[in-house]
Amino acid sequence: MSSIVLASASKIRSDILNNAGVRHRCETATIDETIIKNRVRQEDGSVETAATALADAKAENVAARIPQALVIGADQILECEDRWFDKPPDMAAAAETLKALRGRRHRLISAVSVYRDEINVWRHLEIPHLTMRDFSDRFLENYLQEADPDILKSVGAYRMEGTGAQLFSHIDGDYFTILGLPLLALLDFLRKVGVVAE
């Protein structure tokens, strides 16, 4: 049976797999995400292509170091009104991100890719749509004061599994995908290749 490796240091993605009973280890990919994003924007501008390229790059990078393993790479890009958002570096930037998304609908382009021996064996893309409510400045201030610093690890400066749920008026999409990993599709693939029980 192949070992499963998550090409990520993301605790939430690892927790999703653990909670689903998928035994794995984590190895961080060494890639420059900015270079990949910029290259894709110059070539065709597709946010879907960028998210997939990032997931591929992470999985391929780690697969080159761990022969025979099934290596899972995942990435997520937030897009709102043609703007691509990056993870905020600090709470001031988080506030600006949330103000930009407030009262608007945005997309979370979530890609997952699996490599074995530097060959892509599966990839999948899901795109949840989320609408932030038009919350008050006072709510935003309180939210940021009480927020876990881990919101800076989220591209939208929110953590749906926590108080970030209060930011939204409507969500159309899979919960696990919003958290960062299209789990149900991934589990289906892992069953088909025999590493998760049918």
DSSP state of 149: G
Is residue 26 domain-resident? yes
Contact 58, 36 (CB under 8 A): no
- Is 117 a catalytic site residue? no
Check 15, 44, 56, 75 and give the catalytic one. Answer: 75
State residue 149's pLDDT score. 85
Encoded tokens for 53: 């390229």
Is residue 72 domain-resident? yes
Is residue 60 domain-resident? yes
State residue 159's pLDDT score. 83
Closest CA to 176 of 104, 133, 126: 126
Is residue 197 domain-resident? no
- pLDDT tens readout for residues 120-145: 999 999 999 999 999 999 999 999 99
Is residue 68 domain-resident? yes
Q: Is the pLDDT of residue 115 over 70?
A: yes
Of the two residues 177 and 150, the one the predictor is more confident about is 177
Q: Is the pLDDT of residue 1 over 60?
A: no
Is residue 118 domain-resident? yes
**Confidence category of residue 45, pLDDT binned at 50, 70, 90:** confident
**Confidence category of residue 71, pLDDT binned at 50, 70, 90:** very high
Domain harbouring 153, CATH code: 3.90.950.10
Indicate the number of domains in the chain. Answer: 1
Q: Is the pLDDT of residue 110 over 90?
A: yes
Is residue 187 domain-resident? yes
Contact 26, 9 (CB under 8 A): yes
**Phi, psi for 122 (deg, rounded to 5):** -170, 145
User: What residue numbers bound the domain in which 60 lies?
Assistant: 4-192
State residue 189's pLDDT score. 97
Per DSSP bridges, beta strands 4-6 and 25-26 are: parallel
Is residue 198 domain-resident? no
